[in-house]
Structure 1
Amino acid sequence: MEGPFPPFEPHGPGENGDLPNNNNKRLRDIPLRVVLPNIITVLAICAGMTGVRLAYELRFDDAVYMVLLAAFLDGVDGRVARLVKGTSKFGAQMDSLADIVNFGVAPALVLYAFVLDQASSLGWIAALLYAIACGLRLARFNVMLENKDRPQWQGAYFTGVPAPAGAFLVLLPVYLGFLGIAPDFYYATVVSFYTVAVAFLLVSNLPVWSGKSLGARIPRVAVMPLILGVVFYVAMFATFTWETLTLSVLGYLFFLPFSLRMWRRQAAAHAAAARSNGD
């Protein structure tokens, strides 16, 4: 007799990947390593949705922390899955759907509750555009993963600002609000246009360096400065949270033109190499 829930098939019906199987090639027992990344993804959704609740309870500082926690968990689940060899088709789909909630819906609603509601319909339209742009950006990202003809060097770049970074950027008005800027109508109007601008960055063709080309190894002489730098940033974040987040957003925005310049240089270099090989 079957139970009330369908069997968990992380790789789809009839597919078992590297998991144990029986004579019918159907999954019997699921290793915990396959389920663990999905649990982390669900916790990320819980954090994002809790951030929305806290925002409507006017606990905006805790709401921002929850959205940032969701972003952290989103970055962890995929790495945990690869580390424990627990990747699955189910997990990939679950992670993509979670991103829409955590980086599209949750930040838009937190921002609307904090300041965009002061701009009435304009603020709501801006929140809608941001959430929809995030969904479009994630859908495009999933489609581009299937593009096998893309040059390998382009894999070091995102097309458009990634969704986690978009959530980080769009919450800048909240950070500034905690630094003393009152969320009135005029501020809300400016924030509405800023929100639309971030939405545009999500769906644009702007190449954004992902950092994947750095690799997993670093020079020996860079180990100590790296550790000290991380400790310094964490200490600053814990002590001067909103100032650190504001400067981080400004630094990221300042970096985008340099990312475009890096892309153009690499594109020109590879084009020149292709022409020389053709000759």
Structure 2
Amino acid sequence: MSENLKKGIYIIPSLFTCGNISCGCLSIISSINGNFTKSSWLLIFAIAFDMMDGRIARLTKTTSEFGVQLDSLSDLTSFGIAPAVMMYQLVLTSMGKIGKSIFVLFILCSALRLAKFNVKANAKKVHSSFMGLPTPASAGLLISFVLSYELFIVDPGQSLTFNTIPILMKNMPAFFKTMPVIMVLLSLLMVSNIPYVSFKKMEFSSPKVFRLLILMVLFVWLIATFPQNIIFILFTLYAFSGIFAYATKYWKILKRIYSSKVENNGN
């Protein structure tokens, strides 16, 4: 009885991972058909499935090598190939060989990022932060951009069903023009050694839980009010948070070295 229950528990996280893969595959079909809004929302669901499968596996103590490998393959499909296809169809297709190169680069860097993560997982190396931008975050920025951009190009005779942030929508054409460069930057961030905050080990029993709860309520309200725009802002801030933290760290090191040299010269 307990063995059958154990097998059932192992199946549950895998079902969520399969949901992730399914959303990624359906997203690719939607992108090929030119339905980028549907494609983007399918990948948002894929991110939700990806967040749940790991947490369920850890909660039920059913993490396994099979689950790790299946999750990695699903992430490559949903957060490497699917967003790359979507951006190729929307932005890169008119750029010829350069567009194809950026398309391939994004998928390759996604695969390398996931392979590096798997090696650390097999070595049982658990860290409080991710090394390199996680693939769901990289894909999330592209997805949220498409959702906001689709609102920008909506037919003037068609009324918007969501509120938008005017200053962000005004700059959508500029974001569109720089998207190939942003894709290259995201690709390099994925294979970099820049640390990114991991939310997997958040302690909800800590004294900061009340402030965290207030922030979560605020985020939920903002997303409910400006869904596409806020999702874009959150993923953008997360992507650049690692660069800012990395730059700040090395600025402090350089400042310390400079101060030490000044003191030595003074003596």
**TM-score, normalised with respect to structure 2:** 0.76
- Indicate the residue corresponding to 1:249 in structure 2: 235
Contact kept, 8 Å, 1:209 with 1:259, in 2: the verdict is no
Q: Does the alignment pair 1:227 with 2:207?
A: no
Name the aligned partner's letter for residue 75 of structure 2. Answer: D
Name the aligned partner's letter for residue 73 of structure 2. Answer: L
Q: Does the alignment pair 1:38 with 2:31?
A: no
Structure 2 segments unaligned to the other structure (5+ residues)? 155-172, 254-267
- Indicate the residue corresponding to 1:276 in structure 2: none
Contact kept, 8 Å, 2:31 with 2:39, in 1: the verdict is yes
Name the aligned partner's letter for residue 88 of structure 1. Answer: S
Which runs of structure 2 are paired with 1:108-257 in the superposition (5 Å)? 108-147=84-123, 155-171=127-143, 173-180=145-152, 190-212=178-200, 214-219=202-207, 222-223=209-210, 225-257=211-243
SS across alignment from 1:120: helix
Shift of the 265–34 alpha-carbon distance from structure 1 to 2, 3 Å rule, reads: farther
Name the aligned partner's letter for residue 120 of structure 1. Answer: G
Contact kept, 8 Å, 1:45 with 1:102, in 2: the verdict is yes
1:141 to partner: Cα distance:
1.1
Contact kept, 8 Å, 1:48 with 1:66, in 2: the verdict is yes
Name the aligned partner's letter for residue 251 of structure 1. Answer: L
**Which has the bigger relative contact order, CA under 8 A and spacing at least 6?**
2
Which runs of structure 2 are paired with 1:24-63 in the superposition (5 Å)? 31-63=7-39
CA offsets 1:1-25 (integer angstroms, 9 cap, x no match): xxxxxxxxxxxxxxxxxx74xxxxx
- Indicate the residue corresponding to 2:73 in structure 1: 97
Distance between the aligned counterparts of 2:53 and 2:248, measured in 1? 29
**TM-score, normalised with respect to structure 1:** 0.73
SS across alignment from 1:205: coil
Name the aligned partner's letter for residue 124 of structure 1. Answer: K
Distance between the aligned counterparts of 2:252 and 2:61, measured in 1? 33
Structure 1 segments unaligned to the other structure (5+ residues)? 1-18, 21-27, 268-279
Q: Which moved more, 1:71-80 or 1:113-122?
A: 113-122
Contact kept, 8 Å, 1:207 with 1:263, in 2: the verdict is no
1:123 to partner: Cα distance:
1.6
CA offsets 1:207-258 (integer angstroms, 9 cap, x no match): 22324564242317x42x4334323322322332221122213322442234
Distance between the aligned counterparts of 1:189 and 1:265, measured in 2? 31
Shift of the 126–245 alpha-carbon distance from structure 1 to 2, 3 Å rule, reads: same
Percent of pairs identical after alignment?
29
Distance between the aligned counterparts of 1:156 and 1:108, measured in 2? 29
